[in-house]
Structure 1
Amino acid sequence: MFLLCVSFSSQGQQQPDTGVSLRYCINPEWMPFEAIRNGEHIGISSDYLELLSELSNIQFEFVPTQSWTETLEILQSGACDAIPMIRPSLKKQDFLLYTAPFFESPNVLVSRSDDDVIPGYSAIDDRVLGIEKDKRHVEYIARYYRNIETYYVDSEIQGLTLLSEGKIDVFLASQLSAAMIIKSEKLENLVISGFAEPHDSMAMGISPSANELLPIINEAIAAIPESKTVEVYRRWYQVNSVTHHHSIWLVFTGAIFIFAVLTVIWIKRAQLNVNNELQKRDAELEALQAALVEKNRTVEFLTTHDDLTTLHNRNYMVQKVDEEMSRFRRFQSQVTLLLVGVDNLTRGSQDAVKASSDQILQRLADITLQKIREVDIAARWTNEQILILCPQTSALSAQILAERILTEVELQSLQLFEGVKVSIGGASMQEGDSFVDWFDRAHHAMRNAKRRSTHAYEPAQS
């Protein structure tokens, strides 16, 4: 039984008060999503419950269980009122109501490192695919990929172990849990090879007896800052990688070092100062290696960045746009372009104009980098245009970003942007778009914004 207390505002609308209490239980062995360790609830769902409690004033009371089966049993019996993280399922709709989704969990194909890359279902061919017997992908694969031979297991850890032992060829798993299991079980011969649609949208499951709390929790979910979502994801999914070219460089410099040592020993064998000479050569090689590494970093930066603004350059943006268009066509994930144009840069003498326009573009680039998210990509598209790629972003969210940029430009108008007009056009990618179609709509929207007398944003017409 949960306790619900509400107060009424002067307009008669109900507002949640601190007297709301909701009992919940979890899957005790489902890391990194949730688990019980030393009697405490940990995992992604624990982090989200803290956020939801702060935003809704609901007090969540943990009811420990020994297994997922027990969790479902006590939920149906009324001994607990909610499950904090679950994949919505038709099978459970008779005893669960679902909130709005609040966490996206990609599914992946895991294979052995000695096998070919398997980017998707179509590349599985005659391999045996392992999959949890209760996973919704069982029906999906049976419907759309009937030629794939499947092997059903009880859990992801069982399936990944069988894959590591060579008893199956590929395994379908959640990206987050697969990464954690591979690391914790030391299954070093396994790699994430490709994505496996459909991906999972996680929601909270609530008993029908607590349905009064559903709109309150949905309101709290909608209010979760994007930065908090990114923070939770980073906390529970960390991957360390070593690039191949770096390994080759270590081998190369190591070979040079060995050759130098052998040469010095051969030449200076009879001399008493051989140790000092070796130390000198060692120091020289280390200095050379450090210098070459630094030069490689500089070259890599220059090949992908604009030297005036330090934004990415056009070539880099074209590559990233192509990747996002492929992701849109495959997963239907929203993506939006913002095209930023600057007018009235050419004022005064030629030398003064160049200095002034460079300063304005540099400052506009600084403002852009300050306002965009880490996942966004900004590039200098032409001399007077900046293009911003916003992955997994709706037209409305992109408009908010554009308005943040324009607000900062307006605040600095008297200092640097006096007489300069900044116009932004935005366009979300649509089904069937080529890049030219998509960019043209953003460009047309930017031209419409330029018709206004002040800094302005204009969305593309659908």
Structure 2
Amino acid sequence: MNMMRFSANTVQQWVVNTFSALLLSFILPVLPLAAQNENTHPVREQLTAEERAWLADHPTVRFTGDPSWLPIEAFTEQGEYIGIVAEYLRIIQSRTGLVFDIVPTQTWSESLQMTKDRQVDVLSAMSNEARREYLTFTRSHMSFPVVISVRRDAPDVMNPDQQLSGQRVVTLEGYGYVSQLEQKYPNVEFI
């Protein structure tokens, strides 16, 4: 993990460029599907007999996600599910007839707990060792780099395990990348 210091303008430009690239990488492959309707390309005919039987037995799937991770996904104050994953679900729903019962949550921890308690069937989440104990994962659909940001008056961080040894680094509770950081940088205190 390389650490570099960037100005606010550089970071803002990086965010805009990265978001634009991500958006295009998700939209372009889906455009041909969006241009077709169910009658011209029925997805159900492409499914195995076992998959069709599962859909018949489970016409509604309870789903939740991260309530505050835009542009990927979020819940509005009114409980509407928005973002890139929400668009994917709409396409899947229109192509398969599968209905997603979207279950809004207030926190990511609540989303994870609902999944553990089997109050929802599907969760959009990163695979990690702890989650594999109670979830089955598809192949990864998205990839994002993890970076460490430091205060302007702090030295650049080129080797986190050495330079941040004994330091406290703030992370988001329950996010999948935290366990990976803890394993990779055992001398850093992640809170």
Of 140, 147, 150, which residue of structure 1 is paired with 2:184? Answer: 140
Query: Retained in 1: the 8 A contact 2:72–2:85?
Result: yes
**Is 1:80 aligned to residue 120 of structure 2?**
yes
Q: Does residue 61 in structure 1 map to residue 101 in structure 2? A: yes
Q: Distance in 2 between matches of 1:72 and 1:81?
A: 11
Establish whether residue 152 from structure 1 lines up as the match of residue 179 from structure 2. no
Work out which of the residue numbers 128, 131, 134 in structure 2 matches 1:89.
128
Query: Taking every aligned residue pair, what percent have the same amino acid on both sides?
Result: 21
Q: Report 1:247-286 matches (<5 A).
A: none
Q: Which residue in the other structure is 1:35 paired with?
A: 74
Q: Measure, in 1, the Cα distance between the counterparts of 2:165 and 2:105.
A: 41
More helix by share: 1
What pairs up with 1:182-331 in 2 under 5 angstroms?
Answer: none
Equivalent residue, structure 2, for 1:431: none
Structure with the greater alpha carbon radius of gyration: 1
CA contact (8 A) 1:24 1:63 kept: yes
Q: What SS does structure 2 have at the residue aligned with 1:72?
A: helix
Q: Secondary structure at the match of 1:112?
A: coil
RMSD, aligned α-carbons: 3.6
State the alpha-carbon separation in 2 of the partners of residues 91 and 121 from structure 1: 24
Q: Secondary structure at the match of 2:130?
A: helix
SS where residue 184 of structure 2 aligns?
helix
Structure 1 residues 54 and 114, CA, compared in 2 at 3 Å: closer, same or farther?
Answer: farther
Kindly tell me the number of residue pairs found equivalent between the two proteins: 139
SS at match of 2:139: coil
Return the match for 2:89 from 26, 44, 49. 49
SS in 1 for 2:123: strand
Could you tell me how far 1:110 is from its partner in structure 2? 0.7
Residue 22 to residue 125, structure 1, CA distance change in 2 (3 Å): closer
Name structure 1 gaps, 5 residues minimum: 1-5, 154-462
Gaps of 5+ in 2: 1-42
Q: Compared with structure 1, are the counterparts of its residues 112 and 23 closer, same or farther at alpha carbon in structure 2 (3 Å cutoff)?
A: same
Q: Deviation per CA, 1:155-211, whole angstroms, max 9, x where unpaired?
A: xxxxxxxxxxxxxxxxxxxxxxxxxxxxxxxxxxxxxxxxxxxxxxxxxxxxxxxxx
Aligned residues of 2:44 and 2:96 also touching (Cα < 8 A): no
Query: 1 or 2, which has the higher strand percentage?
Result: 1
Cα distance, 1:26 vs. partner?
2.0
Matched to 2:83, the amino acid is G
Q: Is 1:70 the counterpart of 2:110 in the alignment?
A: yes
3-state secondary structure, aligned to 1:102: coil
TM-score by length of 1: 0.26
CA shift digits 1:262-301 (9 cap, x unpaired)? xxxxxxxxxxxxxxxxxxxxxxxxxxxxxxxxxxxxxxxx
- TM-score scaled by length of structure 2: 0.55
